[in-house]
Amino acid sequence: MTGTGMYVPEKVVPNSYFNELLGEDVDTWLSENVQIYERHWTDENESTADLAEQAARKAMADAGVSADDLDLIIISTDTPEFVSPSTASVVQDRLGAKNAGTFDINTACAGFVTALDIASKYIIADDQYKTILVIGAYNMSKYLNMQDKKTVTLFADGAGAAILSAQENTDRGYINSMLETKGQYNEWMGIYAGGAKAPVTQEVLNDKTHLLQFVKKFPKELNPETWTRMINQLCERAGVTPHDVKRYFITQININSIFETMDNLGIERERAETVMHHYGYTGSACIPMALSQARENNRIQEGDLIMFIGSGGGLAFAGSLFKF
């Protein structure tokens, strides 16, 4: 992993905005219970590709690579530029990365870690792939019901990116990974119109099923228990312990779930990087944004073990252990 970068739109939405919007005090609950104080939303002229492009340019500059160096671009998003074609093809054109193949993946908020897994295995398996750009991009403000307190106060926009580079004779980089899905939860949270099952019609627009919705409440122990187990399994396979991991990058949907996971592992909570405080919940972008933040603040150094744990709608889970 040779470069990282993140980007958020300029528009800042503080908690106080929702007090007025919803006609009640939600600021106190957000601040005290989930530690979200503000978030960034795109304006009407900003799209997912705009976010992805800016994060990509920062990661490329950090890694010292040019557009011509890129062999592959993978974008993880469930808020794509279009239903078709891929957002990655749009970003490839904007970057001028004429040598790069492209594709999008959608495992919701587990997407960036899933994309890391894919990119790492491309490099390991095929020597024509030496430099891969991986992006997590999220533009969920475009899909929010402005009267739904459960979603509108949490979700936000942003993008994070990383460059993976092939290197010979090094012990740095990808160590192992795992993917897991609990598909029985596929109808519990999501955007359930706009695809082939429910194309956008006036009826869909009227009942707002084209917007993000929580259909059922997930068991609160589901994420901490799954994250803890995955971390232990990844460490055991690598012959290390969770205490050997310098920094944890975990899906930022609920800070209390992150704290519970660290408590389960017997590790101080401060080793988990958090970004939700000023960026809200940015889905597939939150983990690479946290990674970029940790880099900028010198909280990880070359040779450190770092753990990525993502989870999102589906329910999809992805974990990966790297030596930075």
Residue 207 has pLDDT above 80, yes or no: no
**Which residues have a Cβ under 8 Å from the Cβ of 44 and sit 6 or more positions away?**
none
| End-of-domain residue from the set 165, 184, 215 | 165
Are both 179 and 67 inside the same structural domain?
A: no
* Band of pLDDT at residue 301, cut at 50, 70 and 90: very high
Are both 154 and 256 inside the same structural domain?
A: no
* Band of pLDDT at residue 204, cut at 50, 70 and 90: confident
- The predicted-structure confidence for 230-278, as pLDDT tens digits, reads as follows 999 999 999 999 999 999 999 998 899 999 999 999 999 999 999 999 9
Are both 306 and 179 inside the same structural domain?
A: yes
Q: Which domain holds residue 42?
A: 3-165
N- to C-terminal Cα separation, the chain: 6
Altogether, the residues listed in the chain come to a count of 324
* Dist CA 71 CA 190 (whole Å): 32
Residue 188 has pLDDT above 90, yes or no: no
- The predicted-structure confidence for 68-104, as pLDDT tens digits, reads as follows 999 999 999 999 999 999 999 999 999 999 999 999 9
* pLDDT at site 65: 97
* pLDDT at site 41: 97
Say if residues 51 and 137 touch (Cβ distance below 8 Å): yes
Only one residue has tokens 């976010």, namely: 51
pTM of the model: 0.94
Say if residues 52 and 75 touch (Cβ distance below 8 Å): yes
Are both 189 and 291 inside the same structural domain?
A: yes
Q: What's the CATH number where 237 sits?
A: 3.40.47.10
**What is the average pLDDT score of the chain?**
94
* pLDDT at site 214: 74
Are both 85 and 7 inside the same structural domain?
A: yes
Are both 183 and 108 inside the same structural domain?
A: no
